[in-house]
Amino acid sequence: MDARSVLRLRHLVALAVGVIMAAGALPPLACQAQPAGREDRARGEIRLTAPLSSVPSTLAVSPDGRFVLASTADGSVSTFDLNSRYGQTEVLISAPIRDEELQKQRPIALSPSGDLIALGVPLERNVADSARVYFFKRSDNKRILYSIDQLPSRPLKLAFTVDSADRLLLVALFADEQPPRVWDVTKLRDAARAPATHPIDTDALRPDEDVLPEPVAGFFSNCDRSECHSFGVAVPPNGDSEISLVIGGDSGIVFYDRNFEVAAYGYTRDGRQDMRRVSGISFSPDGKRVAISRRDLAQTERDANESCAVHVYDFEAMRATGPDRRINAQPLFKLRPGEQLGEEVCYFAHLVWNGDAIFAAGNFVQQPPAGQPCRTFRYLDSGFHPYANMMVRWAAVADASPSRHCLGTNVATDLRAIPGGGVAALTQDPSLIVFDASGNVSTYPAQPHVSRFFEGPTFDIRNGSRGALVTNSDGSIVMLRPLGEPRPYVAFDLMAPLSTASFVSVTNPDQDASRAELLKTLAPHRSGPIKFGEKPKEMRQCLGITFPKDADSLDGPARAELTASLGGFLRLRPIERVLTFQFLDPASGETQWHIVLGTTHRLLYARCDKQDVWNGKTIAETPFPGIRIRNEAYQLAVSGDRKFVIAAHADGILRWYRMSSGQNVMSAFLRPDLSSWIAWTAEGYFDYSFTSGSQVAGWVQSIPTGGGSWRIDVQPLSRFNEKWHKPDELQKVFVDAQANRNVTTAEVAPDTGRPQLQVAIIGGDKIVDGNVRLSIRASSSDATSQRSPLTIAIDGFGRMESAKEHGRRLQSDGLLIDASFDLPECLRHQGKNLRIEVNFEGAREGQYFTYAGPDSAACPQKRIWGVAVGISDYGSRNSSLKYADQDAQRFFDFWKNQGFYKVARFALLTAPQNEPGKTLVMENGKQTTSPLSSADYKTLRDFMQGEFKKIAENVEAGDVVLMYFAGHGFSLKEIHSDYWFFMPNGTDVKDAPSKAIGIPKIVEWLGAADFDAEIPLIIFVDACRDLRVFPDKVNPARAHRAVPDFTDLYRFDATLFLATGDGASAFELPEKDLRNPKNVASCEPSGEDKNGGGAFTHVLLEVLNGKNVDDAQNGISLDTIELRLKADVKNICGKQHAMTFSTSSKFPGLFFPN
């Protein structure tokens, strides 16, 4: 009988037996009728959308090694290009939004052909049989093709395999005593290979299923542990092997034959402790040997299963069992990492045999030998965690001295083989590291100086032994000390929206001194002193037990003891741990103490006499005491007015919960760069720092489309700025007179006025013949959209004038457009990664693909257009500047002398102090100079309008336009808006905005010149925007900063880099101070010098020239410019900062050094 017959037969038998036998006699099957859970519905939420911005789970590597997929605990799947640092690295898709159990595992699997991706998700809360597996394809990141639902427990591991009949099978391992299952998903693979325009009948995609048999009754449920899971799966590399599948777990290991019958097994209850908790299984390349690793046991069991060793067996010997099929074979080799560090039990949860080497990773693996320190990528304060996790590599099965390679400071969550003998490692830091066959961190093929290492933006806000989370009287300011090295104290003020001073840091080991300095920095935003809550009162007796002195004393043993004491009373899950707590003394008129307690799974607010405040019942009467949370609550702080409890969660997010109800009403994410952030309310209002805060989060929407399929849409928050970017609404959370009201949580994406686009490349993500065919769906379009223009652009090349449309069809779910274009020959280089962007009715959507055909010609030289202005002469000695004209001249000279871009036309206007001004124009290799009689508003207006007109008339797709301004700038403030202006000679603040030059005027002049809105526009401004504060409309007793308003730039594909300063001073420095800063705090010059400039322009030109830029010869991206400006400007002048505003697409915007 072949495997296909077995699949069908066992599926039918199980269905029949399930009808006849009593409920529970067999595990419930997916795809059969089950009690309905919650009805699927459209839902949306604000979520972090940067790659690896949640706790990592699982990896999948493409068969050709071009890319890696990584899943995270929030249900997102990110893709990482391994061929180019400028390739696709972004969140590919997110699972539909549901109220799921708090579990980190979101296993993924990639089919051998790369056509189909499977993603497993856990149960919905309080809904039985609601775990799922979703299917989608990499080339279509807007759609879930199909869902296998009604699964009894969460999938822990997924793996694709192809049988001898070329059928694609998916193997799934489960938690909670459930046996593994196999589905025939060939129809799903075929659907994934079909063109995007091909209709899909979801009913026809239903896969056949096989619940794998147990070697003995209760094998997967009787493991002598509180929870029994299956972890490891492997397929022999030899297609002719009699064994088709090997599965390991808490109970032991099982070998299945081609018909999915048990061929051999090792059972922990038969005395095979060495096969207890098997999680890593990997075959040698020839299939003759198999390596096995295990997870750790409890402290009381110590290393009974030798979890800190890898066992290597002869595969034939393991199969040669007697009639009882029990495995009697012993290991040929036991591979160990060496002496263990500390008391924790080392374990290798993940194992890869690739080529001659065996790689293993897990947790509590020792550091390298003395003299070879492991400086991890995300280095933590050694006082918090003494271990550095290592990946161990044995060069051969007899290797007695394995090499150890630094992974990071957290547990390794997955390890996968990559072509060429190396491995990709995923850790909870979070990071993704790609190692070569020798165990060294690998580099990109075309960029040999750049490591293939990816780090997520998660802010590690776990509490060490110092610097617990604290908040002020109303909860609007938080202070904490995140883990890191050097380890700073940070403060975040939600009453100072969009200023760099809202998120400040101090690197000082003294806690009291650091807090005093942070308060001094925040004080200008507040009309009165900032009061922080008192240190939590000590109360040892509560909930019927004796608590430790305080949460800071919760080390490992104390935490385990407290968890055990509360486990039965609070009905904690077996894996749930108590992490933190805080006592509240009786409020006025009360006699009872209260406690706020945080665990890995919940928050609890209770009276010490065992009353659950949020549920309004005694704890004994409450099915689930407290409220469920999305991620571990590591630290807690209660506001002085006792309106909020603030929790620092393991996903790096601070969340504000109302003490009256437990409702999460506010969230904030602080980036590890210590300068950018984003905060949002439950209703969907948001605010973010001007330094790219909006780039880490977006609006995720999931919409069921029937038959187990979904539409998934992820949009950047910048698209919702007009209606939902409202700092006032965030402030109202703290001054709301109705603080007890129930807040309506936003679940539907706000209307942007633009359609939602879905772009699919027909034929997948590899193009071989140069003709790129597209299917474009505009979901919210109507009949009028059939006349709207469609444009297509290619990253680094510009708009495709050759794009052709082949028809538009109005369907029930929007407008479907078929289009194609011929890839320019100069872009046809084998393996080249390209990104197209479609623009339709103001909406933009991109898609990546790889050219896989023969090489062709080189591209023509790109062209640059520019306008630069530098004004030092402002009419008087007191108001004039020294170096603004020099900065503009240096900016002009850089572009004149660089060789990557052809200078089409670049115009410069300078007005030095005590010297005649001039205009200088470089056009097609020729330079002309003209005298300048004045740099007043009219002269500047005529100059810029004339240049804009020339550019607009001659610019072409693929060109780049630059603007640069150096001189005086100022801000015109309105309530919660701040308009920046550049000052010509003779203009005073009172003349604005009529005689000053701001973004609205630049946009107006570009519009009048009919400037192409799709041409990349990059603006650099070294003219300080003042950061002074003004009274707050919401609460006049406060002062806060205005929101810089550059929304007019949304008409263009624009990026703005802007210098900002504290106060109205001009931060100019002589050349010697720029190169060797002297007075960083005051920004005072150390002496006179005829040459100098602004710190902003100095850093900008250093970056453009490639100084201290890794792999500069392969290009400098806008992201690199942004990061360097933000990091380096303040190191020259501490009162000056750099901000970025972008409406641009994801095009890298590469520049090349001189």
Q: What is the DSSP secondary-structure string of 1032-1079?
A: -SS-TTBEEPPPB--GGGGGSSEEEEEEEESSS---EEEHHHHHS-S-
pLDDT value of position 55: 86
Output 848 or 262, whichever has higher pLDDT: 262
- Mean pLDDT calculated for residue range 444-469: 76
pLDDT value of position 973: 56
- Mean pLDDT calculated for residue range 260-280: 92
| In the predicted structure, residue 181 carries a pLDDT above the cut 80 | yes
| In the predicted structure, residue 997 carries a pLDDT above the cut 50 | yes
pLDDT value of position 398: 83
1046/1142 Cα distance (integer angstroms): 9
Q: Flag the least confident range among 330-339, 645-654, 774-783.
A: 774-783
Q: Flag the least confident range among 407-411, 452-456, 602-606, 825-829.
A: 407-411
pLDDT value of position 406: 78
Q: What is the layout of strands, in order, in the sheet containing 804-811? A: 757-761, 771-778, 814-822, 804-811
Closest CA to 1060 of 994, 981, 1139: 1139
Question: 863-1063+1137-1142: which CATH number, 3.40.50, 3.20.80, 2.60.40, 1.10.3470?
Answer: 3.40.50
- Chain centroid to CA 646: 23
Output 757 or 111, whichever has higher pLDDT: 111
pLDDT value of position 369: 52
For 884-919, the pLDDT digits (tens) are: 999 999 999 999 988 888 899 999 999 998 889 999
| In the predicted structure, residue 131 carries a pLDDT above the cut 80 | yes
**What share of the chain has pLDDT > 90, as a percent?**
36
- Nearest 10 degrees: CA dihedral of 811, 812, 813, 816? 0
Residue ranges of the chain that CATH labels 3.40.50: 863-1063+1137-1142
517/504 Cα distance (integer angstroms): 10
Closest CA to 251 of 216, 232, 275: 275
Confidence of residue 32 (pLDDT cuts 50, 70, 90): very low
Burial call 1105-1141: b when 16+ CB within 10 Å, e when fewer:
ebeebebbebbbbbebbbbbbbebbbebbbbbbbbbb
Q: Flag the least confident range among 476-490, 839-853, 1058-1072.
A: 1058-1072
Output 207 or 38, whichever has higher pLDDT: 207
Residue ranges of the chain that CATH labels 2.60.40.10: 757-851
Structure tokens at 810: 């109005």
- Chain centroid to CA 1144: 19
SS3 319: helix
SS3 246: strand
Output 1033 or 437, whichever has higher pLDDT: 437
- Only one residue has tokens 């899943």, namely 71
Output 979 or 775, whichever has higher pLDDT: 775
The residues with which 960 forms a beta bridge, in sequence order, are: 864
CB contact at 8 A, 143 and 198: no
SS3 361: strand
- Chain centroid to CA 569: 37
Closest CA to 332 of 318, 305, 311: 311
SS3 1019: strand
- Mean pLDDT calculated for residue range 224-249: 90
Burial call 1016-1054: b when 16+ CB within 10 Å, e when fewer:
bbbbbbbbbbbbebeebebbeebbbbbbbbbbbbbebbb
**What share of the chain has pLDDT > 70, as a percent?**
84
Amino acid at 1091: N
Q: How far are the Cα atoms of 792, 922, 1006, 1007 from residue 798, in angstroms, in the given order? A: 8, 23, 19, 20
**Homologous superfamily of 757-851:** Immunoglobulins (2.60.40.10)
For 406-434, the pLDDT digits (tens) are: 776 678 899 999 999 999 999 888 889 99
Output 251 or 981, whichever has higher pLDDT: 251
pLDDT value of position 329: 92
pLDDT value of position 631: 86
Output 824 or 877, whichever has higher pLDDT: 824
Q: Flag the least confident range among 122-131, 331-340, 1080-1089.
A: 331-340
pLDDT value of position 533: 63
CB contact at 8 A, 504 and 490: yes
Confidence of residue 1 (pLDDT cuts 50, 70, 90): very low
pLDDT value of position 1051: 76
pLDDT value of position 647: 95
The residues with which 932 forms a beta bridge, in sequence order, are: 917
Structure tokens at 720: 């919702």
Q: Flag the least confident range among 177-186, 267-276, 1132-1141.
A: 1132-1141
Q: What is the layout of strands, in order, in the sheet containing 117-121? A: 108-110, 117-121, 131-136, 146-151
Handedness of CA 713, 719, 724, 728 (dihedral sign): positive
Amino acid at 300: T
| In the predicted structure, residue 1148 carries a pLDDT above the cut 80 | no
Confidence of residue 362 (pLDDT cuts 50, 70, 90): confident
Amino acid at 1084: E
For 58-82, the pLDDT digits (tens) are: 999 999 998 999 999 999 999 999 9
| In the predicted structure, residue 1008 carries a pLDDT above the cut 70 | yes
Q: How many residues does the chain have?
A: 1154
Output 538 or 847, whichever has higher pLDDT: 847
Output 97 or 692, whichever has higher pLDDT: 97
78/91 Cα distance (integer angstroms): 4
Report which secondary-structure segment, H or E, holds 982.
strand 977-982
| In the predicted structure, residue 378 carries a pLDDT above the cut 70 | no
Q: Flag the least confident range among 82-86, 324-328, 424-428.
A: 82-86
- Mean pLDDT calculated for residue range 457-485: 78
pLDDT value of position 5: 42
* Predicted TM-score of the model (pTM): 0.83
- Nearest 10 degrees: CA dihedral of 191, 193, 199, 200? 10
For 946-991, the pLDDT digits (tens) are: 999 999 999 987 788 999 999 988 776 554 455 677 888 887 766 6
Q: How far are the Cα atoms of 398, 539, 1137 from residue 548, in angstroms, in the given order? A: 49, 9, 45
- Mean pLDDT calculated for residue range 148-174: 94
- Mean pLDDT calculated for residue range 692-707: 81
Q: Flag the least confident range among 311-315, 534-538, 686-690, 725-729.
A: 534-538
- Mean pLDDT calculated for residue range 440-461: 83
Q: Flag the least confident range among 128-137, 508-517, 1068-1077, 1114-1123.
A: 1114-1123
Residue 683, CB-side half-sphere exposure with 13 Å CA sphere: 16
| In the predicted structure, residue 874 carries a pLDDT above the cut 70 | yes
Non-local (6+) Cβ contacts of 949 within 8 A are 1009
Non-local (6+) Cβ contacts of 1152 within 8 A are 898, 899, 900, 1112, 1113, 1115, 1116
Q: Round the average pLDDT of the chain to a whole number and report it.
A: 82
pLDDT value of position 741: 64
Handedness of CA 393, 399, 403, 409 (dihedral sign): positive
Q: Flag the least confident range among 631-645, 707-721, 789-803.
A: 789-803
923/920 Cα distance (integer angstroms): 10
Structure tokens at 970: 């100022």
